[in-house]
Amino acid sequence: MMMILLSNWITQKQYEQLSIRPNEVELAHLYYLPKPHKPGTPLWPIVFGLKHPAIKISKFLDELLRPLFDKIASNTIVTSRTEVIKQLHEWSKRNICQETLLCTMDVMDLYTMMPQIEGILSIRKMLNLLNIKQVNDLKIETIIRLSRFVVQNNYFSYNDKYYHQVHGGAIDSPLTLIIANCYMFFFEQDIVKQIKNSNGLYLRYTDDIYITINWPIQHVYKQIDRWNKFDQNIK
């Protein structure tokens, strides 16, 4: 991060605020959690890096960008499954019929499959959509450079070996969630428009998608196959 400071992208005060003391740093490590609710009980890889050298930058950017993302995504993104139920209930009052389908879909490995460069560019795309040139006292280019620094410096250990993550982001890094959300937001816009044009409801909670719509089941399967061809990283 010293190069960012030397390039006058951040101030000395910001540098000190976002830096971690050497005695506070700990290399991230990889571990797995089982997913017992899924067939075959697959393992969920988690890079634990709460003392990662870039963790303060990650938290700082998340606090900076999350309110902006909420502005553009409030109609489709929910923060809890309780909210999903509430919106489904309201939709059903006006639209439910005998043909109504409720579809739940899981985006496969969103955090680890998301391409890093395109993910960071989705942050810029969000800021451009909001017509924002500066957030607080940070220029857009500074935010992009800091985001790139965090994403491209994910190192971790596993079984006494050391790895550099070159695809996706660390799951427990706050910035990973906002980048994944931005990337998915722009990916899903055509789907959202299609569902709304059919008077359906589209919601997403992190990597879980909920769609309720009055379509024949065969048409739903056909559309899912089509959506799976939009982006090779999103299935």
Would you say the pTM of this structure is higher than 0.95?
A: no
Question: If DSSP states are collapsed to H, E and C, what string results for the chain?
Answer: CHHHHHCCCCCHHHHHHHCCCHHHCCCEEEEEEECCCCCCCCEEEEEECCCCCCHHHHHHHHHHHHHHHHHHHCCCECCCHHHHHHHHHHHHHHHCCCCCEEEEEECCCHHHHCCHHHHHHHHHHHHHHCCCCEECCEEHHHHHHHHHHHHCCCEEEECCEEEECCCCCCCCCHHHHHHHHHHHHHHCHHHHHHHHHCCCEEEEECCEEEEEECCCHHHHHHHHHHHCCCCCCCC
Beta bridge partners, 182, equal none
Q: Check residue 214 and give its pLDDT.
A: 96
Average pLDDT in the chain: 89
194/158: higher pLDDT:
194
**SS3 category, 201:** strand
Using alpha carbons, select from 21, 23, 30 the residue that is nearest to residue 49: 30
- In sequence order, which residues have a C-beta less than 8 Å from that of residue 138 and are 6 or more positions away? 10, 64
Cα separation, 156 vs 185, in Å, equals 28
Q: Packing angle between helix 140-151 and helix 174-187, nearest 10 degrees?
A: 110
- How far apart are the C-alpha atoms of 108 and 174, rounded to whole Å? 19
pLDDT tens digits, 193-234: 999 999 999 999 989 999 999 999 999 999 999 999 999 999
pLDDT at 21 over 60: yes
Residue 49 has pLDDT above 60, yes or no: yes
Residues 101 and 212: beta-carbon distance below 8 Å: yes
pLDDT higher than 70, residue 92? yes
**Residue that has been written with the tokens 């499959």 in this structure:** 113
Instruction: Give per-residue pLDDT as tens, 167-193.
Output: 888 888 899 999 999 999 999 999 999
Structure tokens at 57: 């930058």
What is the mean predicted confidence (pLDDT) over 67-86?
Answer: 94
pLDDT in tens, 62-71: 999 999 999 9
Count of CB atoms within 10 A of residue 23's CB?
A: 6
